[in-house]
Structure 1
Amino acid sequence: MGGKTGIGDHIPAVQKTFKKIFNLGDEFVPDGHHFDHLFADGELFSVGNLTGKAISVSGHTPADLAYQFDDAVFVGDTLFMPDIGTARADFPGGDAHQLFHSIRKILALPSTTRLFMCHDYPPATRTAVWESTVAQQRARNIHVHDGIDEDTFVSMRNRRDATLEMPNLLLPSIQVNIRAGKLPPVETNVVAYFKIPVNLI
């Protein structure tokens, strides 16, 4: 369709981490060139007649971005709905301290700013939803409402992350994600393979 791929300009750090984990060969150069564009924090870009701003929100991974269009922010893997909390920070390269500061950056926006979630994991008592506001998050987010300091958040996030299982298909999907959606190259038998480290993660 002619679309282009973009990601945060910290993607080389993510690629270097997973190049080591998956023992990728010389064909994989972790410099971000797989993507058409690497967004810097605060960089402006156009989508048709709209002007967007890339906001670095590292913590879940080093390269996470949020995207702001006027009073709407697509928050990526940072915040969930207030009754669910926040994203995990225990993937390789993740950092709960960075995640806290990234979230506070979002929550410093005007209180009426609309926040669009990347994921929702609704309890049985409600259906899935995708939108909240800065005011709602600051008042009611169970992990990071106003009054929760960095040390409290990091302690909670680390304890909680230690109980979470690895998501299904995480390891194969990462090997596609770090190549901007492309499969690993075929080997000498003209077959492409995903690698699964059995004694590392």
Structure 2
Amino acid sequence: MPDDALAKATRQVITAQKAVPVIRSFFDAPTFTVTYVVRDAATRRAAVIDSVLTYDPASGRTSLDAAKPIIDYVEKEGLTVDWHLETHAHADHLSAAPYLQRQLGGKIAIGARIREVQQTFGKLFNAGAGFPHDGSQFDHLWQDGESFSIGDLPVTVLHVPGHTPACVAYVVGDAVFVGDTMFMPDYGTARADFPGGDARQLFRSLRRLLEMPPETRLFLCHDYLPEGRDHYLWETTVAEQRRHNVHAHDGISEDEFVAMREARDRTLDMPRLILPSVQVNMRAGRLPPPEDNGIVYLKIPVNQL
């Protein structure tokens, strides 16, 4: 299936001059996250990829500061949203997918291996018997190589684990939305030390994506503005990544990458919002159920990560 899926996605990109999506990006500076609205120009059908619910960890309050511009854009452009797509269960921001779904319609979808994330983090957060570990919180779970459409735009889903077990990339016409697998060439690649992460799998996922045609556009989920650059960027190409990615350019062997990635990951702090984010995102962006006093609580496991 992986080889078939890659071949299918590659054929799709090669013929993408007939299927070029209109892409609008929304950058959330507090979490360094890029949300995309991807639409078919002919039918005005659209998908939202990796949305953000604003969360203040000091007060425990949520807001719609990051989500409201997406709603405004969709309504102004007269779009019909069919999908709210997650590339993975994010550890750095809360998803706004359920709120956007209520406002705009559409289905929430993620890779089928979210079940593994739910198993791991359901235990960590002691979510209890009432928390299903079967992915049923989502409207659809993608299999590797599965296809669907946004209007007349063909989409292929590629399983790209390593950062998390459930990571997927969405090939939409001539564009690929890669989630956290890679960043801009001057920043490198995702960490692989979260529960279920694996540096060797990440390398193979990176090579899978970089086998796409060189002109393929890659849209990233984050940019952290590395030293030496004074503005944020989140679009690159396969050719640029193969030539210049500081962690995964052509010529880097799998063993070299794994050694580098594991050594680097040992120096990194946990993301600031990992504990609130994952326990919400494993529920498809929904908060845990209220307790008997009517208040919703997010749990902070001590000395576990």
What is the TM-score of this pair, normalised by structure 1? 0.97
Letter in 1 for 2:127: L
1:184 aligns with 2:288: yes
CA distance in 1, matches of 2:227, 2:189: 19
1:115-157 CA-partner distances (Å, limit 9, x unpaired): 1111111234321111111111111111011111111101100
Aligned to 1:152: 256
Mapping of residues 16-27 of structure 1, within 5 Å: 16-27=119-130
Q: Secondary structure at the match of 1:18?
A: helix
Number of the residue aligned with 2:182: 79
Alignment of 1:1-201 (within 5 A): 1-126=104-229, 127-201=231-305
Residue identity in the other structure for 1:133:
T
Tell me the SS of whatever aligns to 2:107: coil
Cα distance in structure 1, aligned partners of 2:154 and 2:260: 37
List runs of 5+ in structure 1 lacking aligned partners.
none
- Residue range with higher mean Cα deviation, 120-129 or 56-65: 120-129
Distance 2:268 2:207 in 1: 24
Structure 2 runs not aligned, ≥5 long: 1-103
Which aligned segments of 4 or more residues in structure 1 are displaced greater than 6 angstroms? none
Deviations along 1:137-181, one digit per CA (max 9) or x if unpaired, are 111111011111111101100110111111112101111100001
Q: In the alignment, residue 48 of structure 1 is paired with which amino acid? A: G
Higher strand share: 2
SS of 1:7's equivalent in the other structure is strand
Taking only aligned residues, the RMSD between alpha carbons, in angstroms, comes to 1.0
Question: Residue 196 of structure 2 aligns to a residue in which SS?
Answer: coil
Percent identical pairs in the alignment equals 61
Residue aligned with 1:5, SS: strand
**Total equivalences in the alignment:** 201
Question: SS of the residue aligned with 2:116?
Answer: helix
Mapped to 2, the partners of 1:146 and 1:49 lie a distance apart of 34
Supply the distance in 1 between the matched residues of 2:226 and 2:191 (Cα, whole angstroms): 18
Question: Counterparts of 2:303 and 2:141 in 1: how far apart (Å)?
Answer: 33
- Taking CA–CA contacts closer than 8 Å with sequence separation of 6 or more, which of the two structures ends up with the larger relative contact order? 2
